[in-house]
Amino acid sequence: MSVAAQIGLALASVAVLLGLMALLRRGARAVGLGAEVQRKLVHVGTGLYALVLPWLFPDRWPVYMLIGLTLAVMVVLRLPRFAKGVGGALHGVERRSYGDFLLAGSVGLCFFLSGGEPLLYVLPLAVLTLADAAAALVGTRYATRLYRVEDGHKSLEGTAAFFAVTLVLSILSLVGFTDLPAANVLALALMVTGFGTLVEAQSWRGFDNLFLPLGLLVFLSVHLDSSLVELIVLAIFFLCAIIGFHMIGTRVGLSGHACRVYVVAMFLVLAVVSPQNALLPALVLCAHAWARVQAPGRDEYGDLDVVAGLAIISFGWLALGNAMGWSAIGFYGVTAMGLTMGLSVIALRGYVPWIILISLGLFAFREAIAVLNPPESAWPEPLFWLSGLTLVVMAAVPWAIPAFFRRDRVLKLTCLALIFPLMAYLYMVLTQGQSGPGLGGSA
């Protein structure tokens, strides 16, 4: 297929999407379909189309162009002029949701991170497309037993539908794309189903569109070749972590929902990085719990937003490191260190002696972790200057203008913590050359 044909196909795909949304919006008014059903039908359509992208386009770049165009369209559809018309098929739900953006972003990240491995692309997106839709539709129509999440309720019937559809999809995908023994297929299918069901049940504001496919992709990429014994041990450890963290977290004021999400977040982090590199992200969660007790903000779901911020940082550095070919694990650590510093300053309410002490401790801790990392991740080290600059900024800004961080605390601190590590990484990669010593994902 020629370049012009691929560009035309990408543009036509966006046009067809808009046309289908317009038809759905008009048909929904005629038959009385609710906003949630309309949104899920759009997601099913786009998700099913996304599943065939690797086979539809001979080259990879048109897929990224298509995703970029889709994201731009999503932004336009949120404008007041279009929100009540075509955009209503996506944004008609009353709750605040970023699901449309996260769905398009997840397709792009899964396409990139799967590395051409069909199982790693197809299964996560199939679960997101079909199982999530089944859960929403069953829950909308047949819900009788509800359980509370932070922004509303979900139903046991919907969760059961998600579990059943995911189990079937997992078994079919593992049998079709691998030659694993039957026992391993069943164990992996059950773990994928259990993990996916937990993520879907605990997600909010559409973040399941990000956490679910990327979580499954990371889990499969790490544990696809694990032995049956290793899978059983992992399942037991995961269950114990949920129970233990729930008992501890609820005693310091975290909701049960937030405790379970924290466990999910740490398991995703541990799947991406080695244990020593998960310590600073774990400190982010601890610092946030500390800050919410000492200096509560005005965010409605701050306990959950910090998990979203941490996940976006983790997946973002993973994708950037793999794209550039230079390990980003050191910069990931600096970012997590900076976010911990910012949250700690808020918790300390400007008490300078402790701010200085904690900044020195975080600096030393980050450097100790860097020593434990493999040689391929040490190419930019030492990062004394970057660590110091990040700590100074993350300490000074919240200390000088604490009122600025009373709302959207995690979002603002995350963006602030990313500025210098991201600039430094891109500068150092561009000055080093085009091919690096190793991929930037796990370390």
Instruction: Identify whether 291 is part of a domain.
Output: yes
Instruction: Identify whether 39 is part of a domain.
Output: no
Instruction: Identify whether 206 is part of a domain.
Output: no
- Taking alpha carbons only, the member of 310, 301, 419, 437 closest to residue 381 is 437
Return d(Cα 200, Cα 155) in angstroms, integer: 12
The per-residue pLDDT for 149 is: 62
β-pairing verdict for 152-155 and 146-149: antiparallel
Return d(Cα 208, Cα 214) in angstroms, integer: 10
Question: Hunting for tokens 């200390």 — which residue is that?
Answer: 399
Alpha helices for 203-301 (secondary structure H): 208-223, 228-249, 256-272, 279-294
pLDDT values of the chain reduced to their tens digit, one per residue, 443 residues: 788 888 888 888 888 877 777 777 676 666 666 666 666 777 788 888 888 888 888 888 888 888 888 888 777 776 666 555 554 445 444 445 566 777 888 888 888 888 889 999 999 999 988 888 888 778 777 767 766 665 566 778 888 888 999 999 999 999 999 999 999 999 999 988 988 887 777 666 667 788 788 888 888 887 888 888 888 887 887 777 777 777 777 776 666 767 777 777 777 777 677 788 889 998 998 898 888 888 887 777 677 788 878 888 888 888 888 888 888 999 999 999 999 999 999 999 888 999 999 999 999 999 999 998 888 888 898 999 999 999 999 999 999 998 899 888 998 999 999 999 999 999 999 887 544 443 344 44
Element containing residue 147 per DSSP (H, E): strand 146-149
The per-residue pLDDT for 147 is: 64
Instruction: Identify whether 431 is part of a domain.
Output: yes
Instruction: Identify whether 329 is part of a domain.
Output: yes
Dihedral, 43, 106, 96, 345 alpha carbons, nearest 10: 170
Instruction: Identify whether 221 is part of a domain.
Output: no
Alpha helices for 53-98 (secondary structure H): 53-56, 61-77, 80-83, 88-91
Tokens of residue 133, six digits: 């839709």
The per-residue pLDDT for 340 is: 96
CA within 13 Å, CB half, 76: 9
Compute the C-alpha angle 46/271/334, nearest 5°.
Answer: 100
Contacts of residue 25, Cβ cutoff 8 Å, sequence gap at least 6: 38, 85, 86, 88, 89
Return d(Cα 125, Cα 88) in angstroms, integer: 24
Instruction: Identify whether 95 is part of a domain.
Output: no
The structural domain count of the chain equals 1
- Residue range(s) defining the domain that contains residue 299: 273-443
Instruction: Identify whether 383 is part of a domain.
Output: yes
pTM for the structure as a whole: 0.75
